[in-house]
Structure 1
Amino acid sequence: MKIIIVDDDKMITYALKTIVESDEEIEVKGIGYGYDDAINLLETNKIDIALLDIRMGEKTGLDILNYIVSKKLAVKVLFLTTFMDDEYIKSAISLGAYGYILKDDFENIVPAIKAVCAGQKVFGGDVINAIYENKPSKVDLSNELTQKEIGILKEVSEGLNNKEIAAKLFLSEGTVRNYISVILEKLNLRDRTQLAIYYLNNK
C-alpha cells in the first residue's frame, strides 16, 4: 500500500516515516509539512492512504480531507494527532475520515494503516469517549432494536463489511444491507461509523 505522511512537526514526520517503513507492505511515497505539500503529493502520486496531522497552521488536515473529497480522489484519510477536540473528531467523521488515533498510540499506527487500507474504520477508545463525554447516559439497545439488529450492529462495530457479516450470520448480502438501512433509520444515524460509535457507547 502507498501512503503519504503530512505533519507540521518535521521530527515527528520523520519518526512516523521510520515507524511506517518498518513494515515491508507499506511504501511511503512522500512526506510533507502542511496543506500545500499535501496537495502536491496527492496530485503527483497514486496514493492509497494519507496519514495526516489535524492542526497545521492556517489550513488543517480537515482542509486536506475536504480537497480529497471535492476531487473525488480514491484516498483514505487517517488522522494521527495529539488533539482530542470533539469538534475536530466530529468533523473528521462527517467528512468521511477512515480513522482518528492519537500519536502516543504509536504501536498501533501500522495496524491502523492496514485496517484502513482494508476498508475498516479506526477510532481509538479515547476518541470515542471524547465524542460522547457530554452525551446522555447509555440507552438500552433492546428497547431500540431487535436482537438480530443488535447482532448486525455488533459486527459493524468490529469493522466487518456486508459480505463478511453475511457469511458470519448466514444471511445474504442484500439482507444485511437492508438490516443496516433499517438500523440507520431507527437510530437516526448517517453511516457505519456512527453506527459503530453508537454501539460502542451503549453496549
Structure 2
Amino acid sequence: MNTDTEVIRVLVADDEPLVRAGVVSILSTDPGIDVVAQAGTGAEALEYLRAHQVDVAVLDIRMPGLSGLEVLAQMRRENSATRCVFVTTFGEDDYVARAIGLGADGFVLKAGDPRELLMGLHAAAAGGAFFSPSVARRLLGGYQAKKFSDQQGAQALFDRLTPREKDVLRLIGRGRSNTEIASELYMAATTVKTHITSILRSTSARNRVEAALIAVRAGEA
C-alpha cells in the first residue's frame, strides 16, 4: 500500500488516444503521481499489471477485446494489490454497478473536473474509495439506490451500526483510508479493520465501495 510520502505509480488504459493523453496530462501535473505505463487495450493493461508493480490502474470501463471490467475481475482473481479507478461517461451506470461489485476503488467522469481525477487517485492509493459527486448522485438514483432501498433503505442500514461503527462508515464515505480513519478517530489500525468487517457484515455491503455508497445515500458522508 502506498503512503502519502511515496510517489503513486499509475497505469492508464484507454482505447481512445486523445482521452488517454488527456488523463496522462492531468496526472502529470501532480508531482506525487508517476504514470509508469499507458495501454490502449485491456489485454495490454493486464499484461503490464502482471509484470510490474503498480499502485493504481486508471481504466476505461468499455474497451474493445478485454474490457476494463474484465481486467478488474482478473486482477481480483489473481489477488492483485493494485487499486482501480475507472474513468466513466454518462450512461454507463450499469457498468459502474458491476464495477462496484468487483471491488473497484473509485469512479470519475471523463467530462468532469480534473481535480476529481487527482483526488480519486490519492484516495484509492491510500486505501480509500472515491466517487465524483455526479457519479454518486446518478448511482443513488439508479441500480444501487434500488438495491439499498430493497434492504430497508440506507438510513436503516446505517442505524444498525454502533456509534463507533457509524463514525468509521462516515469517514469511509468521505474516501478516508484506514490509516486516516485511525488517526482521526484516535484508534489503532487493527481496530479500524475490525470495525469495517463488522460494518460490512451488518449492512450486507460486499466491499468498501458499497459501504461508502450507504453512507452517501444516508446523508452521512
Category of TM-score, reference length = shorter chain: 0.7 to 0.9
Could you say which residue in structure 1 is the equivalent of 2:201?
A: 185
- Structure 1 letter corresponding to 2:26: I
Shift of 1:85: 2.5
Alignment partner of 1:133 is 2:154: no
Q: Which digits, 9 at most, give the CA deviation of each residue in 1:100-153, with x for residues without a partner?
A: 111112232222212221121111222222222143476357753444432232
Distance 1:73-1:23 versus aligned 2 partners, 3 A rule: same
> Is the contact between residue 107 and residue 130 of structure 2 (CA under 8 Å) also seen in structure 1?
yes
Q: Distance in 2 between matches of 1:149 and 1:94?
A: 22
Alignment partner of 1:35 is 2:42: yes
Over aligned residue pairs, what C-alpha RMSD do you find?
2.5
Gaps of 5+ in 2: 1-7
Q: Distance in 2 between matches of 1:172 and 1:2?
A: 27
Q: Distance in 2 between matches of 1:39 and 1:148?
A: 39
- Structure 2 letter corresponding to 1:16: V
- Structure 1 letter corresponding to 2:110: K
Could you say which residue in structure 1 is the equivalent of 2:169?
A: 153
Could you say which residue in structure 2 is the equivalent of 1:85?
A: 92
Out of 10, 16, 19, the residue aligned to residue 17 of structure 2 is: 10
Map residues 100-111 of structure 1 onto 2, 5 A cutoff: 100-105=107-112, 106-111=114-119
1:151 counterpart SS class: helix
2:155 counterpart SS class: coil
Identity %: 29
Q: Distance in 2 between matches of 1:5 and 1:83?
A: 20
> Is the contact between residue 129 and residue 176 of structure 2 (CA under 8 Å) also seen in structure 1?
no
> Is the contact between residue 3 and residue 48 of structure 1 (CA under 8 Å) also seen in structure 2?
yes
Q: TM-score, normalised by structure 2?
A: 0.79
Out of 2, 25, 31, the residue aligned to residue 32 of structure 2 is: 25
* Alignment size in residue pairs: 203
Q: Distance in 2 between matches of 1:63 and 1:86?
A: 16
Could you say which residue in structure 1 is the equivalent of 2:127?
A: 119
Q: Distance in 2 between matches of 1:93 and 1:141?
A: 18
Q: Distance in 1 between matches of 2:117 and 2:59?
A: 12
Shift of 1:183: 3.0
1:101 counterpart SS class: strand
Out of 125-134 and 177-186, give the one that drifted further.
177-186
2:66 counterpart SS class: coil
2:202 counterpart SS class: helix
Structure number with greater Rg is 1
Q: Which digits, 9 at most, give the CA deviation of each residue in 1:151-172, with x for residues without a partner?
A: 2321222233444434433444
